[in-house]
């Protein structure tokens, strides 16, 4: 339509911060800068290269060192810190596998490391890093939250902020300095075994929740006793492997990069994250660790990132050993450092140190580049207060795994559970009903926690705390009715179908818990989203009894449940709700809380029909369609809500202005509940194809029956922008459409 055609007049935007409540962290503190340059001036080349080296704690511990308080081989520790000047150590000690340690042991260990660093010439502290992905992973009895995919389903920034606060406190109480979290990759490939580490498929939601986490974790003062630096992962494009397997190639064009994958990192930088970990895979033929364009041109020159980048595990050497873009390990080191990697997670030896030292001595890597990297590392060490930190200063009792943290954790789990189907109000269950609980995920804690729980893969059930409840245990605790359990032997086969069927016949209802075992990274690669056949067989056999079935799922990915969901009376998607997941799920099943989780991903109907909610017009242009089993944003409640009266403050604005949106939301059901209102935008006609809709704002509110609340949102100018034909961010004048619920209103952006 001619009227809708836009003039080709564009306004370039200069990086308007998305969620910039704390821009200070990327602004340099002159006092710190002075200290950094004074220190740098005193450093030898060896000391500088050492700062850029990060080793696994296994290099300096006694392998197979059972659970002793002090697992170090002191000669090796001194060799690393005093002779090789290493700047950083990571991971949990091997005893023999990397696993969670007591908090006392962590405090002793990190104290030993500090003491050795204090004996070095310049007394530069080590920065100790850990993957505290959903809480302090490797500290026994820590508060372990729902995984990021669940936090996204809460649509609750406060909870993400509080998760950040509690995680930082428990990491610091453990004597650890630095958290390799949050994952800011956008989860748009459901096969990818790390989907659950992301905040889902939407750019705005991930940016918003990840920023809230960072703000809670760091506040304005990284050096506070209970705050710690975060690390944005995995910059950039890691989450979108073409074949779905971890650490395999993707091909992301510059526009898609800037529209989809970059903004969450930008938001994280603006929220103050001082470190960034590099993508372990490759984008369009360039391995993440060799990508100068991403690591320097965009990250430094455009986004103004002032902290340091750290490689992922062994990834510099892999430029040679795996990717063959370097002809030798030496060339690999040169390539990565010159591309913009500041610290190498080597992690098992000093090869990086030796090679970089040699490269610098021969002038093949300029000392100026090394100075730049070391400046960034020292800056973060000063910002984090590490030079003053002489011991873990947080008292454990009042600050670690508190009752208050447990309550917040339980609320997060409750709000993250998605009631996807509830035929004829089948749920909530009566507490008098007799229930058969069955299925491979009904009686394990590991299936609700996933990877990065007590161990890397999270699959050692024997390490899980004895006081936390599985779904079965939580159900038993809640009801006065008879509860029978028929377990399966594992996820793939030998589920005891016959016995489950016999028991189903004598109970009022079946709670069938299916899903995935825990995993992360490459160990979680799969070839199909289909559930293992024995789980489907169990479901079909139970449906055949004619007894009502509540299907509960746990796991990190949307495994295909289309056929069995259709036959189930209710479907509740648990994903990975963490240590309070069993209790939270039982709270939902019995109606002790009203479910409010909404899907942060599109739940596919079929394994190969993966269309995301913010798809392009041609993806839903007949005969194509967006037809997931459950769409992005779907999630039922025991109450019902409606939105109406969508209005804009103006229908004509000038380019560069924002627009105010208001809408009423009403609880039209019979139970108090929480509802998330989602505000979408569509750029009606543009010079490049636009998503049919994109989330631009959301709010979660609690409403009593019949209560109405008026909600106000701002759609900023930035939210109206696109990456134009010239690859620059800009706003095109013309018509835009705002959508909330069943209503939509248009407005026009006019030339100034």
Q: Which residues bind ligand NOJ (CB under 6 A)?
A: 90, 131, 180, 233, 277, 280, 312-313, 521
| 478 neighbors 586 (Cβ within 8 angstroms) | yes
Report the SS3 class of residue 541: helix
- CB atoms inside a 10 Å sphere around CB 327: 10
**Adjacent-strand bridge partners of 159:** none
| 672 neighbors 652 (Cβ within 8 angstroms) | no
**Adjacent-strand bridge partners of 660:** 714
Phi-psi region of 433 (alpha: psi -120 to 50; beta: other; left: phi over 0): beta
Known active-site residue 158: no
Residue 452 Cβ, how far from ligand NOJ at the closest point, in Å? 9
Residue 415 Cβ, how far from ligand NOJ at the closest point, in Å? 26
Residue 210 Cβ, how far from ligand NOJ at the closest point, in Å? 14
φ/ψ of residue 220, rounded to 5: -85, -10
Residue 246 Cβ, how far from ligand NOJ at the closest point, in Å? 8
Please say which residue, 238 or 638, places its beta carbon nearer to ligand NOJ. 238
With CB atoms as reference, the residue minimizing the distance to ligand NOJ is 180
Please say which residue, 183 or 326, places its beta carbon nearer to ligand NOJ. 183
Residue 151 Cβ, how far from ligand NOJ at the closest point, in Å? 17
Q: Which helix (H) or strand (E) holds 277?
A: strand 275-278
**Adjacent-strand bridge partners of 345:** 54
Please say which residue, 132 or 159, places its beta carbon nearer to ligand NOJ. 132
Please say which residue, 129 or 385, places its beta carbon nearer to ligand NOJ. 129
Using CA atoms, how far apart are residues 25 and 28, in angstroms rounded to an integer?
Answer: 7
The token pair at 156 is: 């609750």
Residue 184 Cβ, how far from ligand NOJ at the closest point, in Å? 12
- CB atoms inside a 10 Å sphere around CB 752: 9
| 674 neighbors 701 (Cβ within 8 angstroms) | yes
Using CA atoms, how far apart are residues 594 and 638, in angstroms rounded to an integer?
Answer: 6
| 182 neighbors 134 (Cβ within 8 angstroms) | no
Please say which residue, 277 or 570, places its beta carbon nearer to ligand NOJ. 277
Please say which residue, 233 or 634, places its beta carbon nearer to ligand NOJ. 233
Residue whose structure tokens are 């939270």: 584
CA distances from 474 to 344, 489, 513, 617, 752 (A): 44, 21, 13, 45, 61
Using CA atoms, how far apart are residues 301 and 130, in angstroms rounded to an integer?
Answer: 29
Of 185, 202, 246, 312, the active-site residue reads 312
Using CA atoms, how far apart are residues 686 and 732, in angstroms rounded to an integer?
Answer: 7
Using CA atoms, how far apart are residues 432 and 481, in angstroms rounded to an integer?
Answer: 4
Alpha-helical regions (H) of 417-519:
446-449, 471-478, 497-505
Residue 355 Cβ, how far from ligand NOJ at the closest point, in Å? 21
Residue 725 Cβ, how far from ligand NOJ at the closest point, in Å? 35
**Adjacent-strand bridge partners of 435:** 483, 509
Please say which residue, 90 or 191, places its beta carbon nearer to ligand NOJ. 90
Using CA atoms, how far apart are residues 244 and 604, in angstroms rounded to an integer?
Answer: 14
The token pair at 228 is: 């710690």
Please say which residue, 132 or 550, places its beta carbon nearer to ligand NOJ. 132
Please say which residue, 521 or 718, places its beta carbon nearer to ligand NOJ. 521
Residue 252 Cβ, how far from ligand NOJ at the closest point, in Å? 18
| 573 neighbors 553 (Cβ within 8 angstroms) | yes
Using CA atoms, how far apart are residues 261 and 237, in angstroms rounded to an integer?
Answer: 6
Using CA atoms, how far apart are residues 511 and 533, in angstroms rounded to an integer?
Answer: 19
Residue 534 Cβ, how far from ligand NOJ at the closest point, in Å? 31
- Any idea how long the chain is? 752
Give the burial string for 328-349 (b: 16+ CB within 10 Å, else e): ebbbbbbbbbbbbbbbbbbbee
Using CA atoms, how far apart are residues 214 and 452, in angstroms rounded to an integer?
Answer: 19
Q: Strand 178-179 to strand 231-235: parallel, antiparallel, or no bridges (unpaired)?
A: unpaired
Please say which residue, 90 or 572, places its beta carbon nearer to ligand NOJ. 90
Active site residues: 312
């Amino acid at each position: 339509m001619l009227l809708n055609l836009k003039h080709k007049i564009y306004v370039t935007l200069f990086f308007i911060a998305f969620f910039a409540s704390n821009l200070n962290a990327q602004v340099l503190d002159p006092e710190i800068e002075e200290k950094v340059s004074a220190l740098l001036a005193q450093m030898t080349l060896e000391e500088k290269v050492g700062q850029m080296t990060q080793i696994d704690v296994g290099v300096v511990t006694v392998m197979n060192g059972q659970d002793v308080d002090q697992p170090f081989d002191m000669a090796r520790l001194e060799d690393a810190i005093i002779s090789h000047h290493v700047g950083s150590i990571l991971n949990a000690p091997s005893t023999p596998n990397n696993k969670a340690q007591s908090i006392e042991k962590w405090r002793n260990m990190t104290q030993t490391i500090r003491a050795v660093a204090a004996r070095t010439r310049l007394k530069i502290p080590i920065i100790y890093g850990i993957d505290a992905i959903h809480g302090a992973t490797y500290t026994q009895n820590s508060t372990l939250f729902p995984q990021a995919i669940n936090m996204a389903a809460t649509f609750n920034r406060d909870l993400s902020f509080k998760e950040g606060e509690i995680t930082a406190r428990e990491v610091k109480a453990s004597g650890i300095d630095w958290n390799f979290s949050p994952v800011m990759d956008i989860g748009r490939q459901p096969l990818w075994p790390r989907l659950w580490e992301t905040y889902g498929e939407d750019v705005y939601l991930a940016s918003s929740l990840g920023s809230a986490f960072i703000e809670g974790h760091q506040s304005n003062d990284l050096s506070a006793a209970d705050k710690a630096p975060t690390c944005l992962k995995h910059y950039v494009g890691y989450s979108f492997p073409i074949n779905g397997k971890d650490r395999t190639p993707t091909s992301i064009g510059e526009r898609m990069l800037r529209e989809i994958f970059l903004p969450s990192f930008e938001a994280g930088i603006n929220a103050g994250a001082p470190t960034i970990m590099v993508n372990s895979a490759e984008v369009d033929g360039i391995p993440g660790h060799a990508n100068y364009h991403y690591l320097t041109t965009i990250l430094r020159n455009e986004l103004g990132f002032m902290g340091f980048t750290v490689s992922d595990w062994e990834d510099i050497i892999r430029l040679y050993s795996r990717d063959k873009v370097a002809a030798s390990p030496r060339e690999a080191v040169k390539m990565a450092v010159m591309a913009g990697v500041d610290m190498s997670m080597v992690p098992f030896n000093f090869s990086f140190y030796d090679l970089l030292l040699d490269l610098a001595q021969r002038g093949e890597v300029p000392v100026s580049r090394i100075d730049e990297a070391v400046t960034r590392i020292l800056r973060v060490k000063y910002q984090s207060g590490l030079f003053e930190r002489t011991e873990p200063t947080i008292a454990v009792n009042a600050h670690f795994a508190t009752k208050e943290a447990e309550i917040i954790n339980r609320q997060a789990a409750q709000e993250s559970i998605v009631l996807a189907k509830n035929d004829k109000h089948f749920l909530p269950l009566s507490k008098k009903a007799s229930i058969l609980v069955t299925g491979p995920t009904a009686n394990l804690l590991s299936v609700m926690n996933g990877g990065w729980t007590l161990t890397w893969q999270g699959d050692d059930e024997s390490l899980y705390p004895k006081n936390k409840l599985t779904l079965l245990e939580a159900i038993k605790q809640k009801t006065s009715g008879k509860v029978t359990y028929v377990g399966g032997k594992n996820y793939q086969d030998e589920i005891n179908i016959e016995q489950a069927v016999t028991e189903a016949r004598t109970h009022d209802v079946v709670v069938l818990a299916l899903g995935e075992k825990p995993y992360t990274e490459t160990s979680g690669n799969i070839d199909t989203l289909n559930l293992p056949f024995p789980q489907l067989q169990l479901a079909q056999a139970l449906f055949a009894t004619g007894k009502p079935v509540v299907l509960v799922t746990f796991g990190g990915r949307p495994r295909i449940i289309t056929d069995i969901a259709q036959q189930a009376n209710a479907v509740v998607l648990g994903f990975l709700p963490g240590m309070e997941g069993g209790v939270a799920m039982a709270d939902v099943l019995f109606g002790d809380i009203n479910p409010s989780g909404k899907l942060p991903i599109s739940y596919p109907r079929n394994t190969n029909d993966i269309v995301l909610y913010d798809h392009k017009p041609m993806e839903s242009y007949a005969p194509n369609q967006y037809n997931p089993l459950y769409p992005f944003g779907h999630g039922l409640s025991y109450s019902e809500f409606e939105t109406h009266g969508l209005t804009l403050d103006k229908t004509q604005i000038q380019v560069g202005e924002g627009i105010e949106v208001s809408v009423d939301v009403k609880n039209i059901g019979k139970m108090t509940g929480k509802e998330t209102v989602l505000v979408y935008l569509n750029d009606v006609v543009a010079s490049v194809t636009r998503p049919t809709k994109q989330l631009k704002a959301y709010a979660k509110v609690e409403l009593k029956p019949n209560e109405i609340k008026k909600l106000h949102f701002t759609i900023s100018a930035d939210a109206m922008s696109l990456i134009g034909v010239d690859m620059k961010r800009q706003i095109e004048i013309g018509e835009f459409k705002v959508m909330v619920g069943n209503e939509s209103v248009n407005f026009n952006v006019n030339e100034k």
